[in-house]
Amino acid sequence: MYRALFNKFFDRQGWTLKGEDLVNHRRCVVIAAPHTSNWDLVYTLVAFDRLDLPVRFTVKKSWMKFPQGIMMKHLGGIAIDRSPKDGSTDRISMVDAMINLFDETPGDLAITITPEGTRSLRERWKSGFYHVARGAGVPILLGYLDYGKKEAGVGKVIEPSGDFEADMREISAFYQTVEAKFPEKFSVDQRFV
């Protein structure tokens, strides 16, 4: 039901889809940026659905309980359980929990991550997406929403080289040309410009 409504809205707003030739990766990390509005979720879900990406996004395990869990699961939410599995009291990191998802999930899995981590201005991105991709041995797809051009989709594929700074400079260069819904709330990671 949600997806049908979102698809209709996407079309009525005049958005176009880009990157059909870049989505042959069935196991990957997908960046969703810019992230300055709640509307970004709607356009992102439609774009990735139309690109036939098996996109999921992570939420706390508690968010998958009734009643909100019904909607979260339908939209592609996947629970992250960071509780220790070895009997210790230390929780595992979010990065390790996401790498475990790749290890434990056979077949298609594209985990969407918003490295800004907030809809407010953030000049330093969270780098977990990179470490998840590197640890799981999967590529990073640069998903984007360009409100200026009304384009949504995937603009580039990055195979993490292990040279974090070089890869982040390439990622930042790509997103510098993308216009957010609220440009004053978006910045690429300024360490790599």
pLDDT along the chain (193 residues), means of 10: 76 92 92 90 87 75 58 60 65 84 89 82 90 97 96 96 97 96 94 92
The three-point CA angle 105-111-127 to 5° equals 120
Quick one: pLDDT at residue 60? Answer: 57
Both tokens of 130, joined, read: 């990179």
Asked whether the beta carbons of 158 and 174 are under 8 A apart, the reply is: no
Quick one: pLDDT at residue 122? Answer: 85
Domain count along the chain: 1
Quick one: pLDDT at residue 175? Answer: 97
**pTM of the prediction?**
0.85
Quick one: pLDDT at residue 1? Answer: 55
Asked whether the beta carbons of 91 and 80 are under 8 A apart, the reply is: no
Q: What's the domain range around 19?
A: 2-192
Both tokens of 113, joined, read: 């991550």
Q: What distance in Å separates the CA atoms of residue 33 and residue 29, rounded to the nearest whole number?
A: 13
Q: Which residue has the tokens 């609220």?
A: 182
Residue among 19, 29, 90 at smallest CA distance from 54? 29
Q: Would you call 143 exposed, middle or buried from its count of C-beta atoms within 10 A (0-12, 13-18, 19+)?
A: buried
Q: Would you call 128 exposed, middle or buried from its count of C-beta atoms within 10 A (0-12, 13-18, 19+)?
A: middle
Q: Which residues are CB-contacts of 86 (< 8 A; sequence separation ≥ 6)?
A: none
Quick one: pLDDT at residue 70? Answer: 56
Quick one: pLDDT at residue 97? Answer: 84
